[in-house]
Chains A and B, each alone.
Chain A
Amino acid sequence: MSEGKIRVLIAKPGLDGHDRGAKVVARALRDAGMEVIYTGLRQTPEMIAQAALQEDVDVVGLSILSGAHMALAPRIMELLEANGQTDVQVFIGGIVPEEDIPRLKELGIRGVYGPGASTEEIIHDIRLAAERRKA
């Protein structure tokens, strides 16, 4: 009898201290029946990759409002790959200029959500991504 749930890591990399968005998303995902591991603030890419590994998550959600996404995202993707977690789906929420999105997608980021993105959209995309991983 298999009783799996979708496990999502919500992490705040870097020095960005604005966590309201991350908490809103965490609660929305919980209300959608998912298990959310919330890391708290000031996570290094290494800490995030370690948490993703230990918790064997399906999805990693990075909350970045500091503009440092082009420095942080590649590093995190690199570490996930080095740890053998190439099947984990990574999303970014926060403040990301349009022109950076193609480059992020190239790195393997599944989706980017700016302010105004609906939690329904996020939940839907995460469900899809998690199913893709389990397949």
Chain B
Amino acid sequence: MMLAASVLEGDRLALARLLTHVENNTGDGQTALRILFPRTGKAHLIGVTGAPGTGKSSLINRLAVHYRGKNKRVAIAAVDASSPFTGGAVLGDRVRMKDLSGDSSVFIRSMASRGALGGLARNTAGIVQVFDAAGYEIVLIETVGAGQGEVDIACLAHTTLVVEAPGLGDDIQAIKAGILEIADILVVNKADRPGVENTEKALRSVLELAHPTQRVVKHHWQALQAVLPAEAGTDGWSVPIQRTVSTNGHGIPELAEQIENHLEYLRASGHWLRREEARLASEVDAILQQTLMLQFHAALPEERYNEVMRQVFEKKLSPGEAASNLVEDAWHTEHREEQRAK
């Protein structure tokens, strides 16, 4: 397939075009992903999440410059929210990444969430795979960054950075553990602002609550494997808190070192493999859900679907019953067609 081959040869226009295919879930995109998938697994995927205003984009800009200084090829996938009403989006993360322009070993792609919840776009995983196969050693993924529910990044990235900043809310905000639980590294950006010590203190105390002694690798909200960090002789990963000032680069080399430490920990502990597996399983499941829904709607006539819905609206059927009936109907319709075909 032409596009995949061109991408592997280093053709940047082909890469950009392929990213569009993957984003739009076209047949060509799926074909290319099939070809490229065996070549994935080399890149370090680094997720960057956190509330708006914490400086994620500037931080990514600085980190990318740092990695370029080490001669690593860097790709950035920056996700921004789509308007739920109009379906459009303004993607403004590039504005903060001007230092990277003109560098042909950097590729920045902005994506709109297109209705996906959880902080990423539906096809961000595919985009990241293309970057990986194309030879980008570091892939930075910036999530939408609206707040607490944005945990999809933890399934996609090897190392997840959660970015906080002083003065964006009182200590009670920090105590909402949700998003902190996914952090491999906590970054306190804008550390030149007043209140940074309090922010750090609040985070430290929450870390103690948010990270149970057993770190569980989750798959579909069910525990896939429980990992005990404190076995004799093995070290668990204790989440470091790193101060940075992305406007002038303070703390960036130290942050990169922490990221590197995390990578080594993943490799040494076998977690790299476990996370890869959980990640891929999540991805297959997500695609499976989409595919099954499409097949379901193709198998069941719309009138039957609407009829069942009406019964729910009239309180004659509960949603649970409705779903069971619909699945059974779809199954019977398919079965009948198979019989007819025989």
Contact = CB atoms under 8 A, between A and B. Distances in A.
Interface string B248-283: 000000000000000000000000000000000000
B322 interface: no
Interface string B191-211: 000000000000000000000
A131 interface: no
B16 A34 contact: no
A1 B98 contact: no
A118 interface: no
Given A2-B26, A31-B83, A53-B16, A36 B88 contact: yes
Given A30-B83, A32-B86, A33-B87, A40 B12 contact: no
A76 B245 CA distance: 35
A29 interface: yes
B233 interface: no
B88 A34 contact: yes
B178 interface: no
Given A2-B25, A54-B108, A40 B88 contact: no
Which of A32, A38, A56 has most B Cβ within 10 Å? Answer: A56
B40 interface: no
A38 B112 CA distance: 13
B92 interface: yes
Which of B26, B82, B87 has most A Cβ within 10 Å? Answer: B87
Q: How big is the B interface, by class?
A: 20 to 34
Contacts of A27: 90
Nearest to A52: B16
Contact of A31 (B86, B101, B107, B109): B86
A35 B89 contact: yes
Contacts of B92: 37-38, 40
Nearest to B12: A53
Interface in B1-46: 12-13, 16-17, 19-20, 24-26
Interface of B: 12-13, 16-17, 19-20, 24-26, 82-83, 86-92, 94-95, 98, 101-102, 107-110, 112, 114, 294
Interface in A34-50: 34-40, 44, 46-47, 50
Given A31-B83, A46-B102, A54 B89 contact: no
Contacts of A83: 13
A5 B13 contact: no
B101 A33 contact: no
B98 A55 contact: no
A115 B108 CA distance: 32
B112 A35 contact: yes
A27 B85 CA distance: 13
A38 B88 CA distance: 13
A56 B20 contact: yes
A106 interface: no
Nearest to B19: A56
A30 B86 contact: yes
Given A2-B26, A36-B90, A38-B91, A54 B17 contact: no
Contacts of B91: 35-38
Nearest to B103: A50
A33 B94 contact: no
B112 A5 contact: yes
Given A2-B25, A37-B94, A54 B88 contact: no
A34 B82 CA distance: 9
A16 to B, nearest CB: 16
B88 A35 contact: yes
17 contacts: A4-B24, A30-B88, A30-B90, A31-B83, A32-B88, A33-B86, A35-B89, A35-B91, A37-B91, A37-B94, A38-B90, A39-B94, A40-B92, A44-B101, A56-B17, A83-B13, A85-B13
Contacts of B26: 2
A36 B89 contact: yes
